[in-house]
Amino acid sequence: MERIYIGMGSNLADPAEQLRSAVEALGQLPQTTLAGVSAFYQSDSLLPGQPRYTNAVAALDSSLAPIELLDALQAIENDQGRERLERWGPRTLDLDILLFGDRLIDEPRLKVPHYQIQERAFVLYPLAELAPQDLRLADGRSLSDLLAACPFVGLERIPTD
Ligand code: ROI
């Protein structure tokens, strides 16, 4: 079993409901237990002219291989109506493998740790709700250093109800 953190995002078709469905689907993956879900956060898109995003992070314990998990996440995205029209376009659901145990993965389809973790408050703050305080990424960076360098700006924590 390895501890895996998944970044979730949506800015179409009732984003909070998309994330709730995604959590449900993650909980049903084979060889996998859902270990936790952060609060949901809203923020403006990093790209102008798109609807606001809702983001959250889920923690999984899984014995799936990284590419098996990636395939499963893409199947969930597709099930929830994801259409790949343009890179960075608005989407019903985005599921990103942020961290996979202490592995460094550099394959064409999958780079872990996710390469934009450090720039993204909407990933770091929900991750920090779930991860141990002293978490280090596989590349040696500490989560607390990344948080200190990434202000909590423009994030709005929303009630999960
Ligand atoms: N902006 C926010 N706030 N949240 C996202 O998940 C997100 N995802 C993206 C881009 C368009 C870069 N902006 C985002 O892909």
pLDDT per residue as tens digits for the range 29-64: 999 999 999 999 999 999 999 999 999 999 999 999
Sorting pLDDT into bands at 50, 70 and 90, what band is 5? very high
Q: How many Å apart are CA 74 and CA 130, to the nearest integer?
A: 23
Among this protein's residues, is 102 annotated catalytic?
no
Given 96, 141, 157, 161, the catalytic residue = 96
Handedness of CA 71, 75, 78, 82 (dihedral sign): negative
At which residue do the structure tokens 């949901």 appear? 40
What's the confidence (pLDDT) of residue 85?
77
Distance CA 92, CA 129 (A): 24
- Kindly provide the b/e burial profile for residues 105-117, where b requires at least 16 CB atoms within 10 angstroms of the residue's own CB: eeeeeeebbbeeb
82 is catalytic: yes
Cα atoms in the Cβ-side hemisphere of radius 13 Å centred on 31: 12
Distance 101 CA to ligand 1 centre (A): 24
Q: Which of 3, 52, 82, 139 is catalytic?
A: 82
Q: How many residues does the chain have?
A: 161
Q: What is the mean pLDDT of residues 132-137?
A: 95
The first and second tokens of residue 121, run together, are 């408050």
- Report yes or no: 2 and 81 within 8 Å, Cβ to Cβ: no
Single pTM value for the model: 0.96
Give the residue, out of 18, 40, 47, 95, with the most ligand 1 atoms within 8 A of its beta carbon, to mutate for a pocket test: 47
Q: Distance between CA 26 and CA 93 in Å, rounded?
A: 13
Closest CA to 5 of 59, 75, 70, 63: 59
Q: What is the pLDDT of residue 57?
A: 98
> What are 69-125's pLDDT values in tens digits?
999 999 999 999 888 778 878 889 999 999 999 999 999 999 999 999 999 999 999
Question: Please, what is the angle between helix 15-26 and helix 66-79, to 10°?
Answer: 140
Between the CA of 78 and the centroid of ligand 1 the distance, in Å, is 18
Q: How far away, in angstroms, is 126 Cα from ligand 1 center? A: 14
